[in-house]
Amino acid sequence: MVKKKIFFVKNINSFYPVLISFVFVFIGQYLMYDNRNLLFGLLFFAVAVIILLLSFFTKKIDIYSLQKDEKINKKIEIILLLAIILIGIFFRVYMIKDVPAGCYRDEGQNGNEAINIMNGVVLDGTSLPVYIERWTQNAAMYMYFVAVSFKFFGIGVLQIRLVSIIFGILCIPAFYFLLRYIFGVKLALLGAFLIAVLRWHVNFSRIGFLGILTVFFVILCFYFAWRTYKERKLFDFIILGVVTALSLYTYLASRLIPVAFFIFLFFLLFKDFKFYKQNWKKMLIGLAAFFIVGFPLFKYAIKHPQYFTSRQSAVSIFNLEMLREIGGRYVEKDGQPKHWTKLYIENVWRTLMMFNWQGDGNPRHNYALKPMLDFVTGIFFVAGFAIMLFKIFAPLNFLLFAFFISMLQAGLLSTESPQAYRTIGLIPIVLILTIIGFQVLNQAIKEEFGKKSNLYFIAFLLLLSGYIGYENYDKYFNGFAKNPGSWAEFSSDEYSMGRYVHSLGDNYIAIIDPAWMNSYTFKFAVYPYKNYVEFSPSEWIPIKAKVEKNFTYILDDTYLPLLPVFKSMYPNGKYSDFRHKFFNSKILYFTYEVPYEDVKKQQDKPVKNGLMGSYYNGIEWKDPPVFTRLDPFILFNWTVDPIMGKFSVKWTGKIKIDIPGEYTFITKSNDYSDLMIDGKVVLKNLGGSGLNAVAGKINLTKGLHSVVLRYYESLHYSKMQFWWRKPGTTEEEVVPSEVLLPQ
């Protein structure tokens, strides 16, 4: 079959209507881009589109006109492409040790799964999974690449991100050859540059997420789909079937690629039925290739449909229970979930606006709600999008539309829109539409200036490319990289403490908050060690374990009041803390390293201090208790309640007073608590939202006094703390264990 270069526009009637339309798009973009005025911005967009499309009616446009490629020296083409790839490499590896910071939990779990694959660990009946049922809830291709990276370069977060970096870089030449096939060299080089520097693509090329593989396969699938339609060779049908099946092993959004093909094939039933008549055998062979390559995944999906669909169900706008739990804009005034059609329409608006107005609000995905496209790219995207819709029944335009509308559904059918990650498959499609916008302007300049236009247009492209590169660099490396929210969202604290515990090795046992200990990031960072246990005040203060090892406490700042307790029990301990990078006064966690000698001395003491706690079902302290234990002090921020459901606790014992005088006692609790000393009610705390503090005063003589401290929990997020202020001081502290004695 004769090869034709298929362009979107030929013979735009006049240079000036096109120029005016782009001026209006520029003004609209200016108004929308920094949230200046959305309504007027959209109005200018609408006027620009009308002017642009009206210029098409004055002269017949031959969409499928035969065009010759602009001639360019092969060596120059290769040099320019390599230069663009080098720019793309720079954007993906510069400051990679620091940006993104930490290791997000999804990355940590991807690393954990890759370790399992590398070590041949049998989970869910196999050591070579095609789909991972646990937290990942995705196909396993990415983890195999990570396992290879671990094998050659060792285990670490950079080795996870290396896979994303490589595929992010591979997207550049892949996208170049796709555009070269459609538009020719000049615009292909521009498109390669756009994907090389686009912040949206750069960000996900530097994070250990699965989605970057989907971008790569969307490019391949689109290329072979269009090539198959044009060339109609058996080889192309087979390759298209293979790459489409392989795409399904990447990320959930890739499941929409076959949907795009189905829409396009349905369109061809009416537009080009000869395609079916002439190629039905080749189509069947391509379909067979698709099913052969995809068979392991399809087999898994049929056998385990509940796991195969669990992730999209969890974030779906059809999940009423989840919508009710999230609340906010997902529910009506009466608290009932909105109908899915309302949410879908809202998501359409939010997702379409993310390109030019307000982008993803997740600090991992984007910087400060900025549009996903830079200022210039957004302008040409609007023009290209309008052309696509105007000439939608041209096969190439409809294929673009099918991909755009299909990949868009990942954001429309789920919560948290606009969602830059779930819609990551849109990146190549959006950039193709952007190139169409440039092509429109290119043709208009050609008509006005003739042969001289090439020089003008190249100079224009160089100027715009410089600005595009600068803006994307600035917003990522000076914006996203220095954004406190982005820093915190990548689990910097969990990764740091994991590496800290890893550095201690087997000579230490880390006593760590259970919420952190069970984090995928922490488990990945500490691998291969398992030198840590779950913190519980009653179990680990003082340390009861009879092992000849050093210990370290790793706790959040709510446990800082325990520091005097630690120092009194373990005077040779060492304190350190980990602070927020951007807010140095904020302590994210602290450590207190305890040498074994101090542990042994404390364990050898004959008297055990604390109050005897009786724990009951319900909120009325009704005997018999479920269990009793000695609690050395009362400073509980339970992440896992000691008893499921509503519960109550009564602590009894003696308090030793060395200095007579007026003492102030405080309970800080989220629900009811009270205190009696020597049978006298000192305070009653009715609780409230968060942590409610109530103080009471009492004069105490030197010696022992009986104490009854009570608390009940009828809500959630159980918290109970017992503090005092001694005579002549203004400083509050947790009542220390050395003054508390069991009954």
Residues 692, 596 share a domain: no
pLDDT confidence of residue 46: 96
Looking at residue 14, its pLDDT comes to: 67
The string of pLDDT tens digits covering residues 626-668 is 999 999 889 988 877 888 899 999 999 999 999 999 999 999 9
Which whole number is the average pLDDT over 596-600? 96
Could you count the other beta carbons within 10 Å of the beta carbon of residue 356?
A: 25
Query: Does residue 389 lie within any of the structural domains?
Result: yes
Given a contact cutoff of 8 angstroms between Cβ atoms, the answer to whether 100 and 490 are in contact is yes
What is the dihedral angle through the alpha carbons of 39, 44, 46, 47, rounded to the nearest 10 degrees? 140
- 10 Å CB burial of residue 620 (0-12, 13-18, 19+) is exposed
Within a domain: 320: no
C-alpha span between 619 and 611 (Å, rounded): 20
pLDDT in tens, 25-35: 999 999 999 88
Residues 177-214: tens digit of each pLDDT: 999 999 999 999 999 999 999 999 999 999 999 999 99
pLDDT at residue 80 in the model:
97
For residues 255 and 564, the model is more confident at 255
pLDDT value at 100 more than 80: yes
Domain boundary among 487, 506, 536: 487
- Cα–Cα–Cα angle for 231, 236, 238, rounded to 5 degrees: 150
pLDDT digits (tens, 9 = 90+) for 17-67: 889 999 999 999 999 998 889 999 999 999 999 998 887 665 544 433 434
Say if CB 165 and CB 93 are below 8 A apart. Answer: yes
Q: Indicate whether 511 and 483 sit together in one domain.
A: no
In this prediction, residue 6 carries a pLDDT of 44
* 63 three-class SS: coil
The predicted structure's pLDDT at residue 296: 97
Considering only CA atoms, which of 227, 216, 292, 229 is closest in space to residue 257?
Answer: 216
Q: What is the 8-class DSSP label of residue 479?
A: I
What pLDDT score was predicted for residue 12? 42
Question: How far apart (Å, rounded) are the C-alpha atoms in residues 240 and 558?
Answer: 57
Residues 649, 614: Cα–Cα separation, whole Å:
6
The burial of 61, by beta-carbon neighbours within 10 Å (0-12 exposed, 13-18 middle, 19 or more buried), is given as buried
For residue 615, being part of any structural domain is answered with yes
* Cα separation, 396 vs 399, whole angstroms: 5
Do residues 581 and 629 both lie within one domain? no
Q: Are 237 and 189 in contact (CB under 8 A)?
A: no
Cα gap 408→412, rounded to integer Å: 6
CA 190 from centre of chain = 29
Q: Would you state the pLDDT for residue 58?
A: 56
List pLDDT tens digits, range 666-686: 999 999 999 999 999 999 999
pLDDT of res. 179: 96
pLDDT band at 441; cut points 50, 70, 90: confident
Rounded to whole angstroms, the Cα distance separating 589 from 9 reads 60
CA angle 365, 366, 371 (to 5 degrees): 130
Do 117 and 193 sit in the same domain of this protein? yes
Residue 145 has pLDDT above 80, yes or no: yes
Number of domains into which the chain is organized: 3
Q: Which residues of 648-671 are buried (b: 16+ CB within 10 A; e: fewer)?
A: bbbbbbbbebeeeeebbbbbbbbb
570-583: pLDDT as tens digits: 999 999 999 999 99
534 domain residue, yes or no = yes
Contact 594, 570 (CB under 8 A): yes
Average pLDDT value for residue range 434-455: 84
**pLDDT at 295 > cutoff 60:** yes
Tokens describing residue 88: 């793309």
Residue 148: per-residue pLDDT:
98
Instruction: Give yes or no for residue 240 having a pLDDT over 60.
Output: yes
The residue range of the domain holding 163 is 15-308+339-487
Q: Confirm whether 117 is domain-assigned.
A: yes
Which residues lie below 8 Å from residue 450, measured CB to CB, with a gap of 6+? Answer: none
Residues 549, 644 within the same domain = no
More confident of the two residues 728 and 426? 426
Residue 3: per-residue pLDDT: 45
Mean pLDDT, residues 275-294: 97
Pair 46, 15: CB distance under 8 Å: no
Peptide bond into 632 cis (omega under 30): no
Do 427 and 528 share a domain, yes or no?
Answer: no
In a domain, 589, yes or no: yes
**Same structural domain, 618 and 597:** no
Please state, rounded to an integer, the average pLDDT across all residues of the chain.
Answer: 92
Based on the fold, state whether residues 624 and 586 are members of the same structural domain: no
CB atoms within 10 A of CB 64: 14
Which H or E run includes 165?
A: helix 157-183
Supply the pLDDT for residue 68: 42
Do the beta carbons of residue 621 and residue 522 sit within 8 Å? no
**Cβ contacts of 428 within 8 Å, gap of 6 or more:** 171, 175, 178, 195, 215, 218, 219, 222
The CA distances from residue 68 to 415, 560, 707, in Å, are 46, 73, 93
Greater model confidence, 691 or 715:
691
Q: Is the pLDDT of residue 9 over 60?
A: no
The per-residue pLDDT for 135 is 80
Q: How far apart are CA 153 and CA 148, in angstroms?
A: 8
Count other Cβ atoms within 10 Å, centred on residue 501: 25
| 2 has pLDDT over 60 | no
**Is 157 contained in some domain?**
yes
Residues 474 and 517 in one domain: no
Q: What percent of the chain has pLDDT over 90?
A: 79
Domain boundary among the residues 487, 520, 552 is at 487
Task: Examine the domain organization and report whether 539 and 452 are in the same domain.
Answer: no
Same domain for 557 and 620, yes or no, is no
Query: Tens of pLDDT along 386-411?
Result: 999 998 999 999 999 999 999 999 99
Could you read off the pLDDT of 352-366 as tens digits, one per residue? 999 999 999 999 999
Query: Residue 635: beta bridge partners?
Result: 721
Final residue belonging to a domain, choices 435, 456, 487:
487
Can you tell me the distance from the alpha carbon of 408 to that of 355, in angstroms, rounded to the nearest whole number? Answer: 12
Q: What is the mean pLDDT of residues 1-21?
A: 60
Which is nearest to 418 in space by CA: 462, 352, 340?
A: 352
- Where is pLDDT greater, at 729 or 89? 89
What pLDDT does residue 291 have?
98
The whole-angstrom separation of Cα 43 and Cα 41 is: 5
Residue 7: is its pLDDT beyond 50?
no
What average pLDDT does range 317-322 have in this prediction?
92
**Of 109, 354, 83, 100, which is closest to residue 202 (Cα–Cα)?**
100
Residue 412 lies in a domain: yes
Q: Are residues 592 and 669 in the same domain?
A: no
The enclosing domain of 695 has a CATH number of 2.60.120.260
Instruction: Evaluate the CA torsion angle 438, 439, 443, 446 in order and state its sign.
Output: positive
Residue among 26, 91, 88, 51 at smallest CA distance from 356? 26
